[in-house]
Chains A and B, each alone.
Chain A
C-alpha cells in the first residue's frame, strides 16, 4: 500500500505599483509591449543597487498574518545563483535561511471533513523575465522580455500535509480567496500571476522517510491542478509497483493530453550557492508596524462563512459560495439589509442562482453588474410579498440586468403585478368551474388530475398574473364546497 505525500509551493505576484527592488512600473506582462518597464536594476546592470519596496513588504505581512504565521522581525535577503536567460543578474534575490515568516496554518474543508494544512514559510523574492521559444520551422532561438523581471513575488510553502488532489485543490482555492480578500493578488491562474506548484512523492504506508519527489508546473487551472496531482500519483505508483524508480525532476502538465512530461532535471539546493545579498541589509520589521497590519486585516473568508451561517441561517454550501469572493459577500449583505422582510436564504438563492447565471452568460463580474444590491432587494421584496410570481421575477431580473431599470418600473410597464386579492381570484375560479361542468364532473368521478387542468384555466384567465398559491387554495376550497 503506497501513500502519496504532497507539498505545495505557491508563487503570488504582489499587485504593487512598482517592482520589488526598483521603481519600474508593474505592468500586465501578458499585454504590455515587451521590455517597456525595465531599468538598470531589473536588467541586472553592473553597479545598479536594489532598494526594497515598502508596499511589497506590507502585502507579504498581510498574507503571513492572515495565515497565522510568526513574523521574523529581521529577515535576510539571499542570492539564489543560477544561470538562465530569464534571470539577468545571474541570481534571483530571494530569502532562504531567514524568511519573512514561518509556521502558519490554513484550515480547509474537504469531502472528508476539515483538514489543517501547516504553512512552513512565507518569503519575499523577485519574479524572473519571460521567455518565448521560437523555431518550429527554421533555426530555433529564445526571446527574452524583462517586463516581469523584478515584480515582487511572495512564495508560500506548505509542509507535505496533503494526501489527495482534492485537498490540494481545496487549499489552493482557499488561499486564492484569501489573497483576493487581502487585495494583494488577482488570483488569475491563466495569466500566471498566481502559480501553484505541487510536489508529489509516494512511500509505503507506515514508513516515515519520504520518497523521491517530483514537482509539477504549468497547472493553469484548479481542474488541471487536481488532475495533474492525480495523474502523477498514478504514474509514480505504477513505476514503483513495477519495481522501477522515480526520478527527481520537474514535470510539466500537458493540458490537452492530460499527462505530465519531463521539463528538467533540477539542480540541487546546494548548487544554488545561496548567500546573504551584500547589497541589502537585513529586513527589519517594527513590531508596531506588524501589529498595525494585523489590526487592519479584513474579515477573512472562513470567519465570514461562519458568521453567515450563524447570523443569516445559511447552510455550509451557500455560506461558502457567498464568501469565496469579498465582493459577493458584500453584495449579499447589502441586499439583505435592503430587503428586511425577505428571508436571507431567499436573497442568497437569487444571487447564487439567477444572478450568477446571468453573470456567467454575459461573461461579466459582479463589479460591472447593472443590478445593484438595493435593486435586487426590491425584486426579492416583490416576490416575498407575493406581488409578482417567481417566473415573472426571473424575467424581470433578466431585464434589470440588461437595461439597469428598477424592478418596480419593469413590473409596472409590463403589467406583471400578480393578483393576490382573494375576492378577485374567487370570482375567476367560480367562472372557470361554471364554464367547465364536464371537467368538474370528471374530477368528482375520481380524476383528481383534472384539478391541475382547472388550475391552468384560472391562471390563463388571469393572464399568468394571479398568485398561484392563492389560486390553488381557492380552487381547493370551492371544489370542496361543491362536493358537499
Chain B
C-alpha cells in the first residue's frame, strides 16, 4: 500500500503545510510505511469481535455543569508567539468579512 506524491501534496495542503519536493518524497515514503503497517493489522481476524469506537468502555461518565475559572489570561497568552490586544495574532485569513 503506497501513497502517490499527489496524495501527499493534498494531505499537506489540508494541514496547511508547505513542503519542498524533497520533503514530499520523504513523507511519501514514511506515510506509505505507516499504511503498510496497517495492512498487516488488517490481516488479524476480528470477525468474532463487535465493532468498537474507543479503547475505553462505553459509559455515561459525565461531568456536572459547574463552571470553574480558566487560566489567568497572562499565563494563557504567554504561550503564544504573537499577542496583540490580549488576543492571539495570526497571519490574515480572508474568508469571512
Contact = CB atoms under 8 A, between A and B. Distances in A.
A47 to B, nearest CB: 13
Contacts of B81: none
A283 B27 CA distance: 36
Contact of A144 (B65, B68, B87): B87
Interface stretch (A52-60, A63-71, A203-211, A414-422): A52-60
A185 B94 CA distance: 30
Considering residues B67, B79, B85, which has the most beta carbons from chain A within 10 angstroms of its beta carbon? B67
Contact of B96 (A131, A144, A267, A286): A131
Given A132-B87, A252-B96, A286 B60 contact: yes
B64 interface: yes
A278 B68 contact: no
A85 to B, nearest CB: 5
Interface string A130-173: 01110100001111111000000000000000000000000000
A135 B76 contact: no
Interface residues of B, number: 40
B23 interface: no
A212 B83 CA distance: 41
Contacts of A23: 63, 66-68
Contacts of A16: 65
A16 B14 CA distance: 33
A263 B95 contact: yes
A283 B60 contact: yes
B76 A38 contact: yes
A276 B67 contact: no
Contacts of B92: 133, 135, 140-142
A36 B93 contact: no
A142 B91 contact: yes
Contacts of A22: 70
Interface string A30-65: 000111111110110100000111111100000000
A53 B62 contact: yes
B62 A281 contact: no
B58 A282 contact: yes
Interface in A402-431: none
A285 interface: yes
B67 A25 contact: yes
Contacts of B65: 16-18, 53-56
A229 interface: no
Contacts of B96: 131, 133, 252, 263
Interface stretch (A76-84, A306-314, A331-339, A359-367): A76-84
Contacts of A140: 92, 94
B18 interface: no
A39 to B, nearest CB: 4
Interface stretch (B28-36, B39-47, B48-56): B48-56
Interface string A268-285: 000101001110111111
A351 interface: no
A22 B65 CA distance: 9
Contacts of B86: 33-35
Interface in B65-83: 65-71, 73, 76-77, 79
Contacts of B14: 81-83, 267, 271, 273
B61 interface: yes
Contact of B89 (A24, A40, A51, A143): A143
A178 interface: no
A214 to B, nearest CB: 15
B56 to A, nearest CB: 4
Residue of B57, B59, B60 with highest tally of chain A CB at under 10 A: B60
Contacts of A280: 54
Given A38-B76, A252-B97, A26 B67 contact: yes
Contacts of B88: 35, 85, 143-144, 146
A143 B85 contact: yes
Contacts of A35: 73, 76-77, 86-88
Given A35-B76, A54-B62, A280-B54, A43 B71 contact: yes
A74 interface: yes
A273 B14 CA distance: 10
A141 B59 contact: no
B66 A281 contact: no
Interface of B: 14-16, 53-71, 73, 76-77, 79, 84-97
9 contacts: A38-B70, A40-B71, A54-B62, A56-B65, A83-B14, A131-B96, A133-B96, A276-B54, A281-B54
Given A133-B92, A285-B60, 6 more contacts: A23-B68, A25-B68, A52-B62, A141-B92, A142-B93, A263-B96
4 cross-chain pairs, A with B, having the tightest CB-CB distances, nearest first: A55-B65, A54-B62, A39-B70, A25-B67
Interface of A: 16-18, 22-26, 33-40, 42-43, 45, 51-57, 74, 76, 81-85, 98, 131-133, 135, 140-146, 218, 252, 263-264, 267, 271, 273, 276-278, 280-286
